[in-house]
Structure 1
């Protein structure tokens, strides 16, 4: 199978990509994953704009599916030209929050702020943690951005699968410590794309994210292409509410100096709690 950066209409032998740096970023023997790892290719050679591969694990590939290069430090900038155009449109249209994909360091927010400053409006920026480099630099990213998203789809193909739950828990804990919002996303009730009920494991996954302290859980394929989008939202909401009720029933942790609030709102809430005691 061949992937080319040349504009073309794809077929079962060749497809195009908008990732212009692909031929320069890959070498023979490296893997290319398509659509969150559903298709696995191995690079056999590079010929100018074309990357030739052998299919290791095949499957259906449609348009606008993502590419992952596990273990490769890709050369793409934090913001592509299209990203900049989209960001300007979002700021002008009145978006509330911006999520930046494939964040690698805390410095990646600088380009976003530069564009926002040109538009004379700054919005909160959420860093999507989905690359091993982001995991390595998670402290700086949490400090620099307004919040983080644990984007488990790409994260699960960019690093060993068994590490993803550990990264998720660490990210939630770090965000809470720094009073930054944290979102857990991707493949939560994934089976509801085709089924009207989630598996027990999926229900536990959602509940445990809430119990760990995530501020939000996010749906993706379940509502964008799934057969039961409304029922998925209702089911997810019930699981979240049940988990929150259990947390409140057990009582909030005691106030200590280690829990010193880092925001003005946190300070006000702590003062009210101390007065109540």
Structure 2
């Protein structure tokens, strides 16, 4: 059984209703909308397709709105003779970046961050296109940054600009992010992702907007700035999930440091019971090729054995030649690794002051000893599921929830299969009968098989160690 979840970035290659249904059937658990690209009209069409697809497939596929953040990008280049909006920058040539809106050429290009000329100084390094092109700042003249090309390469429209070692003055939640967040809240996404967070307080503006709109969604923080790594624990505690965004992080920091940072992030996230996603170039060769490289296969498997809840596709599904095969491939790697490599996942301790984790820690040995087929949790929020999923059980967690928002948000948690049950609230003989019917129907279990049922009281008070109960139950 596949316990690891799959997050897929949606783009032109996979945004049709039929393709989305195929991705869901092949293993997609969360659909990621990248707000760095596209218009509100395009996002709405895709969002409606996702909602219709998950309804037809009958799967709790979550929808994540991933906001651009203070990401600095190039503007648009004019098309060359081949019809491509790209240029080749030669080593040693002069090249300028301006905050004015211009059409880019081989001589220079605009950028999306208007205060960039104020934040850089001579001697600073600018890395473009994920570090493939390297520039040195020679001077600043008004709104124009004068640079020299140190590492040559191709540069095309809308590619990223990174400034390692430079602290930019842009707010964590930009005006565009605020507009996108309000749009996402109005149109019913299930979770949001914030980019380029540097400290825990960077989450406050988004939290304030959600509270004002009375629509508070889980915040997934993309860890991609050196300052974020310095403030790792405070950020993990403040958010509801972590994304190891290796692309920008490996540009902002020496790339050889990133694997160790990832492991620390995973360990920290699991301790605080926050789902963690491994992202960037997981199967990038499959953008064009039908099979992954051996290194990519190992990367996906090792992410799971390191303790990640999810692995994520980016361009592989958004613009790749065969998104369906990509998801099928990732699902196969995940399933085999979960079945044969779960013992390699590091153990994690329960927090003694968290009653839900203490209860879950007691439930797992009992489940294994009694050879239970699954753990059933009655929960109205994601908290009880997080408290047991963090231990990476080798048997599935069936989360019975009366809350539709929780039903979709649980799509991100390791080993969790959500069942929407608005009529199941508290344990009783009648409720156990209904659970049995669901277990035999939706979950595929059989009469006579054993499960452990965990119930939580006072979910909002995790410090209360006596706030739940465990029932040894045989399906009738």
The answer as to 2:111 corresponding to 1:17 is: yes
Which fold has the larger relative contact order, with Cα–Cα distance below 8 Å and residues 6 or more apart in sequence? 2
Between Structure 1 and Structure 2, the one with more helix by share is: 1
Partner of 1:140: 234
Q: Deviations over 1:25-79 (max 9, x none)?
A: 1111111111211221111111111111111222222222211001111111011
1:268 to 1:117, Cα distance in 2 relative to 1, 3 A: same
Partner of 1:214: 308
Please give the secondary structure, in 1, of the residue aligned with 2:186: helix
The answer as to 2:123 corresponding to 1:35 is: no
| Aligned 1:124-273 pairs, distance under 5 A | 124-248=218-342, 250=343, 258-260=349-351, 266-273=357-364
Structure 1 Cα separation of the partners of residues 347 and 357 of structure 2? 14
Between Structure 1 and Structure 2, the one with more strand by share is: 2
TM-score normalised by length of structure 1:
0.93
Contact 1:193 1:225 in 2 (8 A): yes
Contact 2:305 2:345 in 1 (8 A): no
1:165 to 1:91, Cα distance in 2 relative to 1, 3 A: same
Please give the secondary structure, in 2, of the residue aligned with 1:198: coil
Structure 1 Cα separation of the partners of residues 222 and 336 of structure 2? 27
Q: Deviations over 1:61-119 (max 9, x none)?
A: 22222110011111110111111001100111111111000010011110111111222
Please give the secondary structure, in 2, of the residue aligned with 1:88: helix
Structure 2 Cα separation of the partners of residues 252 and 156 of structure 1? 24
1:242 to 1:274, Cα distance in 2 relative to 1, 3 A: closer
**CA RMSD in angstroms, aligned pairs only:** 2.0
Contact 2:307 2:346 in 1 (8 A): no
Partner of 1:80: 174
The answer as to 2:158 corresponding to 1:69 is: no
Partner of 1:121: 215
Please give the secondary structure, in 1, of the residue aligned with 2:215: coil
Please give the secondary structure, in 1, of the residue aligned with 2:153: coil
Structure 1 Cα separation of the partners of residues 221 and 345 of structure 2? 28
1:27 to 1:242, Cα distance in 2 relative to 1, 3 A: same
1:200 to 1:252, Cα distance in 2 relative to 1, 3 A: closer
Structure 1 Cα separation of the partners of residues 346 and 220 of structure 2? 27
Structure 1 Cα separation of the partners of residues 318 and 263 of structure 2? 26
Aligned length: 274
Structure 2 Cα separation of the partners of residues 262 and 160 of structure 1? 37
Structure 2 Cα separation of the partners of residues 62 and 264 of structure 1? 53
Deviates more, 1:258-267 or 1:56-65: 258-267
Structure 2 Cα separation of the partners of residues 261 and 172 of structure 1? 20
Q: Deviations over 1:169-223 (max 9, x none)?
A: 0100110111001111001112222221111111111111100110111111212
1:269 to 1:252, Cα distance in 2 relative to 1, 3 A: farther
Contact 2:99 2:112 in 1 (8 A): yes
Please give the secondary structure, in 2, of the residue aligned with 1:98: strand
Structure 1 Cα separation of the partners of residues 174 and 291 of structure 2? 39
Structure 2 Cα separation of the partners of residues 241 and 231 of structure 1? 15
Partner of 1:57: 151
TM-score normalised by length of structure 2:
0.55
Larger Rg: 2
Q: CA deviation at 1:269?
A: 3.5
User: Can you give the 5+ residue segments of structure 2 that lack an aligned partner in the other structure?
Assistant: 1-94, 370-476
Q: CA deviation at 1:265?
A: 5.6
Contact 1:179 1:262 in 2 (8 A): no
